[in-house]
Amino acid sequence: MRSSIPLGRVAGVRVGLNISVLVIVVILVAGLAFGRFPVVFPGHSPAVYLLAGLVAAVLFMASLLAHELAHAVTARRHGIEVSQITLWLLGGVAELRGEPRTPGADLKIAVVGPLTSLLAGVVSAVIAVLAGAVTGVPLLAGVFWYLAGVNVLLAIFNLVPAAPLDGGRVLRAALWARWGDRTRAAVAAARAGRVFGYALIALGFLQVVTGLGFQGLWLALIGLFLVNAATAEEQQTQLGSALYGLRVGDVMSARPVTAHPEETVAGLIDRVVMRHRLSTYPLVDRLGVFTGLVTLNRIRRVPPEARAATRLGDIACPPHEVPQARPDEPLTDLLGRMDGCADGRAVVLDPGGHLVGLITPSDISRVVATAGLRATDPYLGPRGADVAVPHQRREDDARARHPHDAT
């Protein structure tokens, strides 16, 4: 669900549209302009119905954005960074970099979205009444009555206690407060989401075989999304539990092999790639300041005949697009940012921008594989507890492993 069409910033949060959102807009406009509105409000031209359908679809997307903005703003008030908001085929997603630190914060962030949708429904109903009384145009009032209905339905549906729906977050917060174990609560909410998703798939299939067609397919699509998202959420929760308490400095490969941005691709291949067979090469200038990241995938894309004349700086992932972290940052806060052009890598910098380490998927896999061997429990009490695992890596252990393995 990557943002394909940027819309700028709203309340300080980047907002964008995934290209799939055009599908739902077309479906809404077609369904309203050529189905619902002509039947309920006859007597208008096709152009008027098309305009009314377009207005309703745009306002509905705006209400979805308001729903996600409410999540984002509340999350920021509780100290959670918000990467961006993306509207897509099945709604919207606010990408949070971090997790609530208390059940109360978790509950507030979750419930504010449905409350916003409910408020949007009430406001739309008031506008519908006023529009009907002032203009005397039933179609205009009908647009806002439609918005009122779908926003109320959106609020109710999102409160179903099944992750990743907002109701699943509410369930997680309640179980977290009761059990005192965020991981157990999150897994329970995710499994409830998977059950609910399978139920929607079954209901959708039943509607298809009984002749309701498109509505059944849409339910099945939503159910499939919920099953996949809930499964991914459970896996992410278990991963976060295994890594909880670890700092970036505990996991990073210190003193990684680096290159200069002016070095050629052929020079790097001859000097390092064929000898060490590493997968990642940070670029630093003569002062040690990080200037970009080159991976084997980027090197392979350079034609053999062009390697001698191509500088590493020309093919590198720009520094502002590479996930960056500090050694004392919680590892779980970094994981959500390890994507994009860096192929799942991240660099560790000091306050002056100098490279001090590198994190690759191999580093993460190694920590996950040995998580059960740590003497310190990776998860102690509620998520809000600040538990720091001491940095116990010895120099001989650091020398025993490769700076950063190929992945």
The answer for residues whose C-beta is within 8 angstroms of residue 383's C-beta and 6 or more apart is 99, 100, 101, 102, 176, 182
Phi, psi of 192 (to 5 degrees): -65, -40
Token pair listed for 164: 């990743």
Alpha helices in 97-251 (DSSP H): 103-135, 138-158, 166-179, 182-209, 214-243, 248-251
Choosing from 68, 99, 233, 234, which is the catalytic residue? 68
Per DSSP, the three-state class of 392 is coil
Task: For residue 156, give Cα distances in angstroms to 8, 73, 116, 222.
Answer: 30, 21, 12, 15
Q: What is the Cα–Cα distance from 31 to 61, expressed in whole angstroms? A: 15
How many C-alpha atoms does 50 have within 13 Å on its Cβ side?
A: 4
Question: Could you give the CA distance from residue 270 to residue 30 in angstroms, rounded to a whole number?
Answer: 59
Residue type, 210: T
CB proximity list for 232: less than 8 A, separation 6 or greater: none
* H or E element in which residue 356 lies: strand 355-359
Is 234 noted as a catalytic residue in this protein? no
CB-CB contact of 32 with 97 (8 Å):
no
Whole-Å CA distances, 225 to 88, 95, 201, 208: 12, 17, 10, 18
**Widest CA span in the chain:** 83
Report whether 166 contacts 159 (CB < 8 A): yes
| Nearest of 231, 236, 155 to residue 198 by alpha carbon | 231
In the chain the first and final C-alpha atoms are separated, in Å, by 25
Strands (E), 18-125: 81-88, 91-97
- Determine contact, residues 236/227, Cβ cutoff 8 Å: no
Burial class (CB in 10 A: 0-12, 13-18, 19+), 290: buried
Structure-block tokens of residue 166: 């907002």
Catalytic residue numbers, as ranges: 68
